[in-house]
């Protein structure tokens, strides 16, 4: 099988690392070779963060480069726009319809672009989800990232039951139920 590439992008502090652990878990269960690459340290303090996930029979490079991503999972609109050019021509973009102003916008040095999702939709296959709204409806705003993952999982080659099993293995036992629920909200959206 040809190596497949997934990217998770967001704002430091949004919990991209949990999502990548679940992704890594499901690929390992399926018997693939997997490499994940993450950002730790300073960028985690509210900066733009990226996680790369690659899987296949034998994976060499641990990062995903421009024009190579099969799936781009974005936890925030501006970050979707920033990394959209990493997508393959027929790649799929799942974006959380959520805005976090970067400091450059807060200070007035830059403007937050309008109509990002419409713009991206002209060039790519885009699926937007208001995961924060769904997470608040579930009673836990922190679950939004697993909701987005659920929405992305629909476009990947793994069974729903396998995802739920991996979530059970990956997250702390107290939060298994809420995370599985959150995943299904995204998966069935």
Partner 1 sequence: MAEKKIMLGNEAIARGAYEAGVKVSAAYPGTPSTEISESIVKYDEVYAEWSPNEKVAMEVAIGASISGVRAMASMKHVGVNVASDPLYTASYTGVGRGLVLVAADDPGLYSSQNEQDTRCVARAAQVPVLEPSDSQEAKDFMKFAFEMSEKYDTPVIVRTTTRLSHSQGMVVLEERQEVPDKPYERNIGKFVMMPGMAKGRHVYVEKRMEAMSEDGGGFFVNRAEYRDTSIGFITSGIPYQYVREVFPEASVLKLGMVNPLPRKMIEEFASKVDKLYIFEELEPVIEEQVKSWGIEAAGKEIFTRQGEYSANMLRRILLSEEVTEAQAAQVPARPPILCPGCPHRSVFSVLKKLKIHAAGDIGCYTLGAVAPLSVIDTTICMGASISSLHGMEMAKGKEYVKNWVAVIGDSTFMHTGVNSLMNTVYNQGTGTVIIVDNSTTGMTGHQDHAATGKTLKGKTVPAISIYHFCKAIGIEHVVEVDAFDLPLLEKVIQEETERDEVSVIITKAPCVLLKGNHFPDVCVPVPEKCKKCGACLKPGCPALTKKEDGSIAIDATMCNGCGLCMQLCPFDAIAKEPK
Q: What are phi and psi of 100, to 5 degrees?
A: -125, 120
> Beta strands 48-56 and 125-129: pairing type?
unpaired
Report the residue from 1, 2, 40, 90 that binds partner 1 according to the rule CB under 8 A. Answer: 40
Report the residue from 13, 118, 159, 188 that binds partner 1 according to the rule CB under 8 A. Answer: 13
Tell me the closest approach of the beta carbon of residue 185 to partner 1, in angstroms. Answer: 17
Verify binding: residue 137, partner 1, rule CB under 8 A.
no
Verify binding: residue 118, partner 1, rule CB under 8 A.
no
* Residue that is written with structure tokens 């997997």 in the block: 34
Q: Which is nearer to partner 1, 113 or 188 (CB)?
A: 113
CA 26 centroid distance within chain: 14
Verify binding: residue 28, partner 1, rule CB under 8 A.
yes
R_g of the chain computed on alpha carbons: 16
Tell me the closest approach of the beta carbon of residue 8 to partner 1, in angstroms. Answer: 13
How far is the C-alpha of 52 from the C-alpha of 73, rounded, in Å? 10
Q: How many CB atoms lie within 10 A of CB 72?
A: 28
Name every residue whose Cβ is closer than 8 Å to that of residue 125 and which is 6 or more positions away in sequence.
90, 91, 92, 93
DSSP summary character for residue 129: E
Number of residues engaging partner 1 in binding (CB under 8 A): 53
Verify binding: residue 85, partner 1, rule CB under 8 A.
yes
Verify binding: residue 159, partner 1, rule CB under 8 A.
no
Verify binding: residue 29, partner 1, rule CB under 8 A.
no
Taking a C-beta distance cutoff of 8 angstroms, is the pair 60, 97 a contact? no
Residues 65 to 84 in contact with partner 1, rule: CB under 8 A? 65-67, 78-79, 81-82, 84
Which residues here bind partner 1, judged by CB under 8 A? 11-13, 24-25, 28, 33-48, 59-63, 65-67, 78-79, 81-82, 84-85, 87, 100-107, 109-113, 123, 132, 141
């Amino acid at each position: 099988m040809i190596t497949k590439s997934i990217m998770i992008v967001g704002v430091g502090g949004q919990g991209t690392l949990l999502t990548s652990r679940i992704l890594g878990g499901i690929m390992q269960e399926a018997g693939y070779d997997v490499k994940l690459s993450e950002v730790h340290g300073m960028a985690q303090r509210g900066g733009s963060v990226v996680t790369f996930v690659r899987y296949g029979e034998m994976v060499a490079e641990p990062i995903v480069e421009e024009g190579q991503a099969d799936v781009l999972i974005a936890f925030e609109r501006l970050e979707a726009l920033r990394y959209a050019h990493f997508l393959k021509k027929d790649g799929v973009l799942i974006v959380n319809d959520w805005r976090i102003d970067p400091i450059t916008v807060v200070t007035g040095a830059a403007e937050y672009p309008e109509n990002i999702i419409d713009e991206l939709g002209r060039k790519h296959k885009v699926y937007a989800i208001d995961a924060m709204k769904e997470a608040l409806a579930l009673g836990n705003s922190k679950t939004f990232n697993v909701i987005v993952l659920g929405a992305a999982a629909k476009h990947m080659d793994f069974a729903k039951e396998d995802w739920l099993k991996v979530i059970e293995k990956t997250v702390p036992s107290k939060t298994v139920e809420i995370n599985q629920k959150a995943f299904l909200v995204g998966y069935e959206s």
